[in-house]
Amino acid sequence: MTDQPIYQPTADVQKSDEVTEHPATRGQGGELHQEPAGDAPRLTTAQGIPVADDQNSLKQGDRGPTLLEDFHFREKIFHFDHERIPERVVHARGYGAHGYLEVTDAIPELTSASLFQKAGTKVPAFVRFSTVAGNKGSFDLARDVRGFAVKLYTEDGNWDIVGNNIPVFFIQDAIKFPDLIHSVKPEPDRGWPQAQSAHDTFWDFISLMPESMHMVMWTMSDRAIPRSFRFMEGFGVHTFRFVNAEGKGTYVKFHWKPKQGLQSVVWDEAVKINGADPDFHRKDLWHAIEAGDYPEWELGVQVFDHEFADQFEFDVLDSTKLIPEEQVPVRVIGRLVLDRVVDNFFAETEQVAFCTQNIVPGIDFTNDPLLQGRNFSYLDTQTKRLGGPNFTQIPINAPKCPFHHFQQDGHMAMQNPKGRAAYEPNSWAKGGPRPRPKQGFESVAEHNEGPKRRIRAETFADHYSQARQFYLSQTKVEKDHIADAITFELSKVEVPEIRARVLSHLPNIDKDLAQKVAEGLGMEMPEAAEPYRTPIDLPVSDKLSILKNGPDSIAGRKIGILATDGADAELVNAVKSGAESAGAMVEIVAPQVGGVKLSDGSHMPGNEKIDGGPSVLYDAVAVIVSEEGAGKLASMLPGKQFVADAFGHCKFIAYSDAAETLLNAGGVTDRDEGMIALKSASDAETFLEACVAMRFWQRAG
């Protein structure tokens, strides 16, 4: 074993902002054909070895496993994994909580995993939610993918389901992950932007990677700006395998479905929330758990066999594709409950180490090339980030079941084997642990054959059909948000050629979408990009929409009551008690944080001062003020913005008679059905019933 070489650049690259066509071309499913671009230096490894293909990892056959001998991929991902000390390179900003998984439906016919053998089985869990692109100090509501990583402490060891809140990903092969993340991170010559994809390098990369277009539809949708960790789905992303006691393997995809339904914010809210409360998601999770409103998700699985996989329109090993629930329904087998906040953020949330390779007997991998690369990358990342190979001895990472092995020494070793033998096999009577052939982990005996090649399977070649399906499955409001998001992001791209190249992909998804974005940018539509494989029309899938899968109550939501001295006590108490009875949280926003004196002389403590509690922090608002109080708020910018934003963001608004002055001052002169006048305490019930819809989207037109 030799020391790792120190990287020394061997050539100066002339700095230029000129955009050129990407020099790589490919018959999808065949070898890469690449010609030098002008005077560009040849791509090499850090050892100076010329690279022939930087798009695909080395595999055994075109759909086979990634090979460990791929030194270029190993070096590339190894260096990427070691770029940050000690912050995570990606998922740096995260928040976690403890809980448990309870099995509600035993499935021994599908898997021998111990936790799924009997309904009612409970195993401890730790979950970490995160953004991907920003650093630890960025804000919660960046437009970004959210990590949804679950560590299950089973009796057969730790099982990590390291997923996201989006079921697909940008790339098909892990060798491109460093390029993807480098493109979205701050541009190296200027060091910005932070936690944003709205810049040239990200969209330049995306425009040259058609396989990313499905994921782009998701990240430009409201899925990328969730209202709360509690109201978003989680996905295992990859296709895994269940393995039963007879050794039979069945394909499986994992889903986490929030019991309180899906919900997101709108972009203008996200921008304002990041200014008003950059820890919005963190506080939301903390306060919900502390209040006993424990977040809960159903664990569901999509299970299918080789026959389905062979007949499915796309390759089940392609992480840029999903399987619609209409084709393979999700079977609910458990529930995940988060019921305890951490004792120490650093010791638990920061030091927790998730690894996709952490699976238990009864679960197995597939040859998904993105998953294969992650299995290498995560262990290497945690070893570097946490200082050495003994990170598994940190309490948050240690198994809760008995564990025995011969690993010893190393940096910060707290546990070493006792006795004379530190090896296996040995002949000592008390020679330590021994393998258990009938209980231990075994992989499915899958047969793979084919030449060693850097290649992408033909079955991975359709890049637009599911992107189109996702877009067409949205409501009109959601489609508008996607078009607006793409337009906004591309408006921040300085190089016109990059904007045009992105635009050229959109007609392959939807011509109306392409035209809306082009008009929003003031650009002529370029010629559509020619897809390698012609997109096919797929059925609409309602499960892909947030608004079609929203909540059926206001439980877990937050209602803001803007009140002043002299506010009608009966109305304030009716809204407050009614909302709390329905499972919602209520905060009083007042001119002074000390609270207000209501009409009956009682004192109502305040939770927020008006300039620190804007309406963007709430799911719905009630404006219950006195005539004098309304006049004072109408002279204050935060007061006017409170009602103007609530109206502009299509929220349900309840208001007392005296609030008319403030509403008019805030430019809210229309009274639509999303505004409920509070004439008596009984009107509070009407308001709260309307709030179940979360937004009065008709206001958006």
Q: Which residues are catalytically annotated?
A: 91, 164
Where do runs of H (alpha helix) occur along 473-568?
A: 476-491, 496-505, 511-521
Half-sphere exposure of 50 (CA within 13 A, CB side): 5
Distance CA 368, CA 320 (A): 11
Sign of the torsion angle spanned by Cα atoms 477, 479, 485, 490: negative
The neighbouring-strand residues paired with 402 are none
Q: Beta strand 585-590 with 608-609: parallel, antiparallel or unpaired?
A: parallel
Q: Which residue matches tokens 């996201």?
A: 164
Where do runs of H (alpha helix) occur along 48-94?
A: 71-81
Distance CA 272, CA 590 (A): 19
- Write out the two tokens for 300: 């569901």
Distance CA 493, CA 353 (A): 35
| DSSP 3-state of 103 | strand
- Write out the two tokens for 251: 């394909």
Distance CA 494, CA 496 (A): 6
Q: Beta strand 653-655 with 620-624: parallel, antiparallel or unpaired?
A: parallel
CA distances to 287, 565, 568, 572, 587 from 575, in Å: 20, 17, 11, 5, 11
Q: Which residue matches tokens 């890049």?
A: 463
| DSSP 3-state of 306 | helix
Q: Write the DSSP string, 647-686.
A: HHTT--EEE-GGGHHHHHHTT-----TTEEE-SSTHHHHH
Cα 300 → chain centroid: 17
Find out whether 219 and 513 touch, Cβ atoms under 8 Å: no
Q: Provide the strand spans (E) within 310-370.
A: 331-340, 363-364
Q: Beta strand 58-60 with 452-454: parallel, antiparallel or unpaired?
A: antiparallel
Find all residues with CB under 8 Å of 564, minimum gap 6, and list them. Answer: 590, 591, 596, 625, 626, 628, 629, 630, 632, 633
Exposure class string for 462-492: b at 16+ Cβ within 10 A, else e: bbbbbbbbbbbbbeebbbebbbbbbbbbbee
Q: Write the DSSP string, 13-31.
A: PPP-------SEEE-TTS-
Distance CA 461, CA 11 (A): 35
Distance CA 121, CA 478 (A): 39
